[in-house]
Chains A and B, each alone.
Chain A
Amino acid sequence: EVQLVETGGGLVRPGSSLKLSCATSGFTFSNTWMNWVRQAPGKGLEWVALIKDKYSNYEANYAESVKGRFTISRDDSKSRVYLQMNTLRDQDTATYYCTRRYRYNPFAYWGQGTLVTVSS
């Protein structure tokens, strides 16, 4: 069974940093592209970042709203994907979901999400 479990969310001040983690199991992580998607309270879905697998040289892509502030990374030995978030803003407040790509769907599997609240 595929499982994605996000951790690391919490309440932080504007300008601070936070690192999210997504632990995965039930599939071959090393050859899977992974994404982070977020959802502000009561709002729609926003793609945040993508990291490809080793066969694609771990290429990463970011939404313009987080480029230069967020970094996606992965540890294939631990089957984990991370999102380092720096210089956090109020607008980054959201539930952050880790998703797994499968075949023609970049969001085929979702975790339960972790809530990040940025507030002074």
Chain B
Amino acid sequence: DVVLTQTPPTLLATIGQSVSISCRSSQSLLHSNGNTYLNWLLQRTGQSPQPLIYLVSKLESGVPNRFSGSGSGTDFTLKISGVEAEDLGVYYCMQFTHYPLTFGSGTKLEIK
């Protein structure tokens, strides 16, 4: 199975600070069709997860452009440029290049 390792497990940020979350895969996520199926999700406390980014860097509809994704192969990054209070929660990367679909262990973003 593909293992996705997220770091850091916890992130403490002030409002307006820029932060990054790393997601490293145990295998390349480049599919034979040329797509890289690496997505990011956010789960706020007590809520269902919601999608943020798909195909490494494409923002889902309605997601603020302070969120950005980058990376390729096995190394990926989610960046928040100017954290806002509503951004707190747990961020997950996930992949569906390979079966079984797998998630990272999550990064909890806390606001100072």
| Interfacial residues of chain B within 41-71, with CB under 8 A of chain A in the complex | 41, 43, 48-51, 54-55, 58, 60
- A46 CA / B106 CA spacing, docked (Å): 11
Return the chain B residue nearest A47 by Cβ. Answer: B101
Contacting pair A108 B60 (CB below 8 A): yes
CB < 8 Å neighbour of B103 from A46, A104, A112: A46
CB < 8 Å neighbour of A44 from B39, B60, B92: B92
- A103 CA / B54 CA spacing, docked (Å): 9
How many chain B residues touch A (Cβ–Cβ < 8 Å)?
26
- A61 CA / B92 CA spacing, docked (Å): 22
Contacting pair A105 B100 (CB below 8 A): no
How many chain A residues touch B (Cβ–Cβ < 8 Å)?
21
Cβ–Cβ < 8 Å partners of B96 in chain A: 106
Contacting pair A107 B100 (CB below 8 A): no
A-to-B contact residues, CB < 8 Å: 35, 44-47, 50, 61-64, 97, 103-108, 110-113
B-to-A contact residues, CB < 8 Å: 1, 35, 37, 39, 41, 43, 48-51, 54-55, 58, 60, 90, 92, 94, 96, 99-106
Extra inter-chain contacts (20) besides given A46-B103, A64-B100, A104-B58, CB under 8 Å: A35-B101, A44-B92, A44-B105, A45-B41, A45-B43, A45-B94, A47-B101, A47-B102, A47-B103, A61-B100, A64-B1, A97-B49, A103-B54, A104-B54, A104-B55, A105-B51, A105-B60, A107-B39, A107-B49, A110-B48
